[in-house]
Amino acid sequence: MGSSSDKKRKSAEDTTSKTKKTKSDSEKSSKSPKFINVGAVKRPQNAPPVVAATSGLALSSSIQFQAYATPADKTSKRKKNGAPAQELLLHSANHRTMDYTAREDRTGDSSDPYLKHYIGIFNPKTAEVEIVEARKTVLRGTVRSQKAVDEAMEEKNQKQQMMAMRNELGEAFGTKKAKKAIRDVTENAITTQKVGQSELVMMDAIKTATKDMSTKEDLQAAVDNARPVPRGNFEARDIADVYVPAQIIGSEVLNAIPVMDWQESVKNLEDIQVPSRFVAKRVSNVASSDDAVHRLRVLRYLLFVIIFWNATSQGRERGTRSIGKRDKLREVMAPAPEIVIENIRRKFSDGGVMRKTHVDLLMTHCCAFAAIIDGFRVNTIDLREDLKLEQKQLNQYFIEIGARVKQQKVADKMENFAVLQLPLLFPKIRLPARKR
C-alpha cells in the first residue's frame, strides 16, 4: 500500500472553479422560473393591440400611426361571434410619398366566425403570461398625389392664355400658310399635364425593371456575332485586312495545298481541267500575278470547297445535306491532302450532316474567297453556276459578308457585281412595325 503522502491532493484552483460553477448554476436556476402562470384573457375596449398584415409592403419601424374608431352605437349589440361593434382604423402620413391605412379584416367572419387573434405578454419577474385579444388589420399603401404649387399653376395659365390670344390673332389676320400651321399645331397638340407622384413611382419601377434590358446596339452586336460568316477583322482600315485567308483557313492547312502542277501547266500553256467555271476562268491570271503561290492556294481551296458542296446529297431531315464517306471524298477531291479534306469536312458539317448553318457558312466562305481572288469586285455569274444557286440567294450571301451588290450592263446584258469595300454594310435587324 502506498503511503498517505503518495496520494494526490486537489489544488486550490480546482476547488475554487468548482465553487464558481456551482454558484453560477444556482443563480441561473434561481432566475429562470420553473413554472409559468397564464392569466385570464383580457378584451380591452379602448386601444387594443393590433396584428397587421402588410401584404407585400416593406414597412419601416419608424412609421407612426394614428388610431381612429367609429363611435359605438348604444342600441347595437355585439355580434354573435363576439366581434366588437366599433371598427378600428390606423392611418399614417409620416412617409414623404406614401399614405398607409390599416383597416380591420372582417372578410373571414362568414368562413370562420370563431377565428380570433391574441397576443401573449410575458413578465419575467412574476413569471406570468398575460393574454390580450388583438384586432386583425390589413395594411395598404397608396401614393400621395403631389399638389401643384399655386404660382406654377398661375404661370401655366398665363402662358396658355398668351398662346391662345396669339393663335386667335393668327387666325384673324395671318396668311394661309400661318393659319394652316396653327391648325396643324392645334390638331396634333398633346396636352401636357403635371406628372403626379403615382406616375413618378411607376416610371421609377419601369426604369428599374428595364435597366438591364438589351439595347438595339446590343441586339445588333449579338446578331453580328451569331451570323454564319467567315472570321474577319471588322475593325480593319484596309479592305484586304478584313478577310485574311490564313486566319480563315489556317496557315498549316493553307500551306499544305499543292499548286506546283498548276504553275507548271500555266507555264507550258496547257489547259487545266477543273469542275468549276469560276476557277477555270481565273487560274491563268492568278498564276501570272504577284504573290501567285498564295493566291493559287486560296483559289484551289475554293475549288475543293465547291467540289465538296457538289458531292453532297439530300439529307434525311428536311433542309439538311448528307456528305459522302471519307473514301468518296478522297476520290472526288483529289489531289487534296488529308489535312485539307478534314478541315473542310469539320468546318462545314457535323456528324456527316450539313444543316442550314453549315450551308450558309460554306456559301459565305465561297463569297469571301471569290472577292479576294477578283480584287474585291466579283462578277457573280460564274460562282452562281458553280454553287447552283438563284441570283437572289447568292446576292444575299454576299450581303451577309458586308458586300454591296450592284447591277451593271456588260455586252448588252445586265449582270450582278458584288463589291466589297469599307465600310462594310451588314444586314440590320428589323423591328416589327407599330400598329396604327
Q: What is the pLDDT of residues 177-231, one digit of tens each?
A: 888 888 777 766 544 444 556 667 777 777 777 766 766 666 655 555 567 888 8
Lowest mean pLDDT among 165-174, 290-299, 402-411: 165-174
Q: How high is the pLDDT of residue 253?
A: 92
Residue type at position 393: Q
C-alpha cell at 297: 492556294
Measured from the Cβ of residue 49, the count of other Cβ atoms closer than 10 Å reads: 14
| pLDDT confidence band for 123 (50 / 70 / 90) | confident
Instruction: Judge whether residue 261 has pLDDT over 80.
Output: yes
Q: What is the pLDDT of residues 332-363, one digit of tens each?
A: 998 899 999 999 999 998 888 999 999 999 99
Q: How high is the pLDDT of residue 1?
A: 47
C-alpha cell at 57: 409592403
Task: Compute the average pLDDT of residues 94-99.
Answer: 79
pTM across the whole model: 0.51
In a 10 Å sphere around its CB, with 0-12 CB exposed, 13-18 middle and 19+ buried, how is residue 371 labelled?
Answer: buried
| Residue 144 to residue 153: CA distance in whole angstroms | 19
| Residue 423 to residue 236: CA distance in whole angstroms | 9
- Give kind and range of the element (H or E) at residue 39: strand 37-42
Instruction: Judge whether residue 10 has pLDDT over 60.
Output: no
| Residue 92 to residue 102: CA distance in whole angstroms | 9
C-alpha cell at 249: 483557313
The DSSP bridge pattern shows strands 128-143 and 50-53 to be parallel
User: In b/e form, how buried is each residue of 241-273, taking b as 16+ CB within 10 angstroms?
Assistant: ebbebeebbeeebbebbebeebbebbeeeeeee
Which of 29-43, 56-70, 195-209, 231-245 has the highest mean predicted lDDT (pLDDT)? 231-245
